[in-house]
Amino acid sequence: MRQEPYSAQIEHAARLLRDGRLVAFPTETVYGLGANALDAEAVGRIYQVKRRPGTSPLIVHVASIEMAASLVANWPEIADRLARRFWPGPLTLVLEKQLNKPPVIPGIVSAGLSTVGLRMPAHPIALALILAAGVPLAAPSANRFTELSPTTADHVRRGLGSDVDLILDGGPCPVGIESTVLSLAGWSGGSPPVLLRPGGIARSQIESLIGPVASAGDPAAGPHPAPGLHPRHYSPRTTLYLATNGKLPDRGRGLYLQHRHAPSRANITIHQMPQSPAGYAAALYEVLHQADAGSYNWIAVDRPPSTPEWEAVRDRLQRAATEYSRAGAS
């Protein structure tokens, strides 16, 4: 009974994409704002709608390893091993683009770089959409630049409204934060893989498969383009502080996102966050969207542990926090 309207909607969405229009769709990480990745004009509309600077490359979503391999100059064995283990899933692989024969990813997708970020999303609607469209989809998160990423269709509707031609509703995103971005661009030249952005797949999971990876900024990584990782990104409109040991601002109406530490003062609203990193990540953006809709003067977040399994959550919180530049995180 439910199958027909579902596939009819996917078909309709795929037609829009082939016509150069924009479709917002669910993935396991966050909602994406998709366009045909081979259509430079359609991709231009993504930047317009997001008001995103042209220096920030887009991730290209594929439905198979074969589709990914057809877009790059060389699909190395290490990429194959990673893709076979973690795809479909929240791991983006950055590789040199293929430029000699179609399909060629236009320069606008990768912000003029010679590389492209590729991933196969673990979401039935996203995969069905790519297959129905028959082309790879360029899709950043479906929000205006610097605003919070959407993890429900309603977030997309409120953030982008009529600027998007269609929103496919797949319910809340199960991972809830963006993909891990791993560059393999220097691999054939002897450079190690470089973790450009922590995310849905933990560094330890990658390292247990391929050995140590460098971080952007490590001397071992060498100079490495990590564009689009603006310090203020993923931010709520409300001022967000990272609280150490429950210590809160002493003025104003606030919301405290508690993890382990009780707040230092009474008369504030407390929201208890999930204990596990995966549960926390899945809940985070929805809680911040709700907090933004309330009339708080500030949000204080109980700092999560500084252990490896919290790396991605810590990264997003640091980028969301007002004190980001002073915290000196990278």
**Residues at the contact surface with ligand AMP, assessed by CB under 6 A:** 56-57, 59, 94, 110, 113, 115-117, 140-141, 178, 181, 196-197, 225-229
- What DSSP string describes 257-288? EESSS--SSSSSEEEEPPSSHHHHHHHHHHHH
Q: Which one of Mg ion, ligand AMP, none is in contact with 278 (Cβ closer than 5 to 8 A by kind)?
A: none
Any bridge partners for residue 95, and if so which?
Answer: 116
Q: Which one of Mg ion, ligand AMP, none is in contact with 196 (Cβ closer than 5 to 8 A by kind)?
A: ligand AMP
Nearer CB in complex with ligand AMP: 175/255: 175
- What DSSP string describes 50-108? HT--TTSPPEEE-SSHHHHHTTBS---HHHHHHHHHH-SSSEEEEEEBP-SSSS---TT
Q: Which one of Mg ion, ligand AMP, none is in contact with 117 (Cβ closer than 5 to 8 A by kind)?
A: ligand AMP
Please select the residue that binds Mg ion; options are 92, 141, 179, 318, rule is CB under 5 A: 141
Q: Report, in Å, the least distance between residue 98 CB and Mg ion.
A: 25
Q: Report, in Å, the least distance between residue 164 CB and ligand AMP.
A: 15
Q: What is the CA radius of gyration of the chain?
A: 20
Q: Which one of Mg ion, ligand AMP, none is in contact with 286 (Cβ closer than 5 to 8 A by kind)?
A: none
Q: What are phi and psi of 257, to 5 degrees?
A: -95, 95
Q: Which one of ligand AMP, Mg ion, none is in contact with 133 (Cβ closer than 5 to 8 A by kind)?
A: none
- Taking the CA atoms of 12, 13, 18 and 22 in sequence, report the sign of the dihedral they define: positive
Q: For residue 236, what are its two tokens?
A: 């709520």
Nearer CB in complex with Mg ion: 36/141: 141
Q: Report, in Å, the least distance between residue 88 CB and ligand AMP.
A: 16
Q: For residue 240, what are its two tokens?
A: 């967000």
Any bridge partners for residue 25, and if so which?
Answer: 32
Nearer CB in complex with Mg ion: 93/214: 93
Which DSSP category does 183 fall into? E
User: Distance (Å, rounded) from C-alpha 238 to C-alpha 289?
Assistant: 10
Q: Report, in Å, the least distance between residue 143 CB and ligand AMP.
A: 8
Nearer CB in complex with Mg ion: 229/248: 229
Nearer CB in complex with ligand AMP: 26/117: 117
Nearer CB in complex with ligand AMP: 32/254: 32
